[in-house]
Chain A
């Protein structure tokens, strides 16, 4: 393998941390969702990098199968999350997560 496993792991860690910073620091609910998508992508890069470098020897495909399940969950999460954002905008005319504190004591 030309590209060592550690390169993928470092890039995936950076991607995850950038997504985390975005999810924590953005005010817009849709931007928070975008940060979560970035984090899920980083996880997928990790899964496939480990599959290619460790698991190919055993001739199984669980890394790819896991990544497919993660993509499915990400798609479901994006659909429901964006539906929530649209419903929120329709009723409260805002998508700022700070303005939506109904369940805070």
Chain B
């Protein structure tokens, strides 16, 4: 408990402590993966880079990086996006 927490991390910590959903309290992205063929991401903040082999999405406190083959951005709006294709790897960077 002695380490210093930033505002975002504090919210996450508070959400975990109080058993509240972190995506609502701390604005964390919610990711739904259907097998390895589709990825639905809510609470995103935009795309950072895009190609059919690699897509980087800004998830606020975390950046999500997908690697795969034939990746396609199927649909996107201010809060959600859907990526389809063969997903090999999912990586989170803080």
A, B: real partners: no
